[in-house]
A and B are shown apart, each in its own frame.
Chain A
Amino acid sequence: MDILYKIFLDPFVQMGTAPDLFVQTLWEGVVGGMLYALIALGFVLIFKASGVFNFAQGIMVVFAALTLVGLYNAGVPAFLALGLTIAVMFALAFAVERIVLRPLINQPDIILFMATFGLTYFLIGFGEFVFGGDPKVMITEQLYLPKGTITYKALGGVVSLQKLDIAAAVIASIMVAGLAVFFSKTRIGRALRAVADSHSAALSVGISLEQIWVIVWFAAGLVALVTGIMWGARSDVSFALDVIALKALPVLILGGLTSIPGAIVGGLIIGVGEKLWEFYWGPLIGGGTDSWFAFVLALVFLLFRPQGLFGERIIERV
């Protein structure tokens, strides 16, 4: 009985008696979830437009952040470094399309997936070779990102919010809104959606697949840069943290591989669920549970909805 009480009642009693802690945990979950969501967003962009499951997205985040910091440390002014990093991400998108994707056109999905593994390895080696493997500090002040915390006396306790996290939330929302407008209103956005629907139909109305792929990889690179800045500001910039990027995978599952709102909602669910689980239930089974909670949640979820929350219905024919 005692164990049942600890599992089913005690956590909720704790939530009720200390609402400030609950809100604090919830907020941390939201912030963590946002980062997952941003990484997942990069995945979705590329998957939608080219059907490539881009494993390198997580590494692109680190690579973008590393390039930015590396350039700044080399003496380039902060905003020039930002511009140069964007240029580097464009060059990367162009090179990936030309060197990796074009020769592998019409290959099975798993081969393209494997190719992005090769890209991952290359980026890790290249990034460390050029900028060194030691962890670096993100240049938050130079980019005019706010610092410090806001503390509220609320709910019978203290809730403290990092200003940086709030800024991250605002920037992420703006970016997602921008992408939504880009997808629905512009000519290129419409072309992107056409490619996502059907490659051959898009080709037949004169849309250049090569061009679209460069654009979509560049967009994913920009998302990676923003994610990298936000994430680098919370911890050091180094390749050692690429395991975090793997957390974007269950987010994708929850949201569905092809849905942008799915990526956002999935990210928030995973982020919040993981923090609450670890805080209230984790100690019962020894802690450290956030390494697998997201994956198990996604697995359980998949059993009921194999295509994710917002994914397109999978129709199978012989």
Chain B
Amino acid sequence: MLYREAGQFKTNYATDQAIFPILQDRIGIIIILFIAFVVIPLTGNDFFINAIMTPFLIFSLAAIGLNLLTGYTGLLSLGTGAFMGVGAYACYKLTTVFPNVNIIIWVITSGFVSAAVGVVFGLPSLRIKGFYLAIATLAAQFFLEWCFIRIPWLYNYNVSAAIEVPQRELFGIIVTGPRATAGTRYVIVLTIVVIMTWMASNIVHGRIGRMWMAVRDMDIAAELMGIRLLPTKLLAFAVSSFYCGVAGALLVFLWYGGAESTVFSINESFTVLFMIIIGGLGSLLGSFLGAALIYILPIILRFVPPQLGLPLHAATVEHLTFMITGVLIVFFLIAEPAGLARLWQIAKQKLRVWPFPY
């Protein structure tokens, strides 16, 4: 009833090509942003903000990064965790060498470092495709992980072989380190994620995004149409790694507060891959939905049995979480292989014509 576009006429091309062509969508996105920027920081408690919202946003950003590469360009990558690690270690190195520079600048710069590394490991993508490429990116994953352990320069020769986030201020407010409040970190992460999502949306709706999608759908055909494959694929690797690098830097600086190489293990890569496949390949909204499902689901599962008064062992809950996650992955794939984003589209379509079937 409420969700109907009747009477909304498009009188020029700009409105016709808008990302949110329907008024209700625009209102919806404003409400979501209002809740995210105002309501949650004011009303949410520290646990909710720090353990759910901040990591959810960071993982969404990483998922967007991987989605640009896998969902939009069709290049399967299992090196996400390592690229996130490059961002985190680069940011740590930069901020300890130049402590007086604004930390946000270093977070963004570390994304460029990660992009450079991504381009190097993206070079084989011209010759290798599909699962072969996925395994080739595993080389990046394991090699970089090894570097994080074996090159002490990266973690400033700490005895613990871990990176410890120093305290940094932004406009006089402490934003990193143990003394920063959960709310401050959340707002900064949210701001960066919103800006970068907006940028990603513009990229994929523009010329570059169309080139990527042409390469995804069939790269030989794209080449015949005049798209140069190597620059296009490398650009996809660069932008994707940039997003992952920023996500990694945020992960360590604004959430964990310190990290070892194990944080950026192969499991991290798989988690992000789950997110985009469950959420929907080639959909920015899907990146958020997938991150929400995969990240928040285990947390909920862990909290349900105590709430119901079931006396379950912690280990048993862990095993059950694994089982249920596996079952749900298969269930969602069977229910809608194109991901949660497609479910949302179908729901919207149904809503438009409700209560009539068509």
Q: A117-B329, A128-B322, A285-B150 are in contact. Are A298 and B136 (CB under 8 A)?
A: yes
How long is the Cα–Cα vector from A111 to B337 in the complex, in angstroms? 7
B312-335 Cβ-contact flags toward A at 8 Å (1 or 0):
000110111111111111100110
Residue of A110, A125, A286, A295 touching B324 (CB-CB under 8 A): A125
Question: In the complex, what residue of chain B is closest to A307 when comparing beta carbons?
Answer: B132
How long is the Cα–Cα vector from A115 to B324 in the complex, in angstroms? 14
Q: Interface-forming stretch among B84-92, B177-185, B218-226?
A: B218-226
Q: Interface-forming stretch among A5-13, A159-167, A204-212, A248-256?
A: A248-256
Q: Measured between C-beta atoms, what is the minimum distance from B160 to chain A in Å?
A: 17
A305-317 Cβ-contact flags toward B at 8 Å (1 or 0):
0101000000011
Are A129 and B135 closer than 8 Å at their CB atoms? no
Q: Measured between C-beta atoms, what is the minimum distance from B127 to chain A in Å?
A: 5
Are A246 and B326 closer than 8 Å at their CB atoms? no
Q: Measured between C-beta atoms, what is the minimum distance from B230 to chain A in Å?
A: 14
Residues of B within 8 A of A296 (CB): 139, 143
Are B136 and A299 closer than 8 Å at their CB atoms? yes
Within 8 A of A (CB), among B263-320: 266, 270, 273-274, 277-278, 281, 315-316, 318-320
How long is the Cα–Cα vector from A100 to B330 in the complex, in angstroms? 7
A-B contact count (CB 8 A): 139
Are A129 and B323 closer than 8 Å at their CB atoms? yes
> Is A318 an interface residue, CB under 8 A from the partner?
yes
Binding site secondary structure of chain B:
helix
How long is the Cα–Cα vector from A237 to B326 in the complex, in angstroms? 22
Are A110 and B281 closer than 8 Å at their CB atoms? yes
Chain A: interface residue total (CB-CB under 8 A): 51
Q: Measured between C-beta atoms, what is the minimum distance from B44 to chain A in Å?
A: 30
> Is A50 an interface residue, CB under 8 A from the partner?
no
Residues of B within 8 A of A289 (CB): 146
How long is the Cα–Cα vector from A103 to B325 in the complex, in angstroms? 19
Within 8 A of B (CB), among A109-127: 109-111, 113-115, 117-126
Are A295 and B142 closer than 8 Å at their CB atoms? yes
Residues of A within 8 A of B251 (CB): none
Q: Measured between C-beta atoms, what is the minimum distance from A177 to chain B in Å?
A: 28
**Most chain A beta-carbon contacts within 10 A, residue among B143, B145, B316:** B143
> Is B76 an interface residue, CB under 8 A from the partner?
yes
Are B333 and A125 closer than 8 Å at their CB atoms? no
B193-233 Cβ-contact flags toward A at 8 Å (1 or 0):
00000000000000000000000001011001000000000
Q: Measured between C-beta atoms, what is the minimum distance from B333 to chain A in Å?
A: 5
Q: A110-B76, A318-B224 are in contact. Are A99 and B326 (CB under 8 A)?
A: no
Binding site secondary structure of chain A:
helix
Residues of A within 8 A of B150 (CB): 285-288
> Is A203 an interface residue, CB under 8 A from the partner?
no
How long is the Cα–Cα vector from A120 to B218 in the complex, in angstroms? 31
**Most chain A beta-carbon contacts within 10 A, residue among B129, B149, B316, B334:** B334
Are B277 and A111 closer than 8 Å at their CB atoms? yes
Give residues in B with beta carbon < 8 Å to A.
76, 124, 127-132, 135-136, 138-139, 141-143, 145-146, 149-150, 218, 220-221, 224, 266, 270, 273-274, 277-278, 281, 315-316, 318-330, 333-334, 337
9 smallest A-B Cβ distances: which pairs?
A125-B322, A122-B326, A121-B326, A118-B329, A125-B323, A295-B139, A292-B142, A118-B330, A129-B319
Contact sample, A vs B, 24 pairs, CB 8 Å cutoff: A100-B334, A118-B329, A121-B325, A121-B326, A122-B322, A125-B320, A125-B323, A125-B324, A125-B326, A126-B323, A129-B320, A129-B323, A133-B315, A253-B132, A257-B131, A285-B150, A286-B150, A289-B146, A291-B142, A295-B135, A299-B136, A306-B132, A317-B220, A318-B218
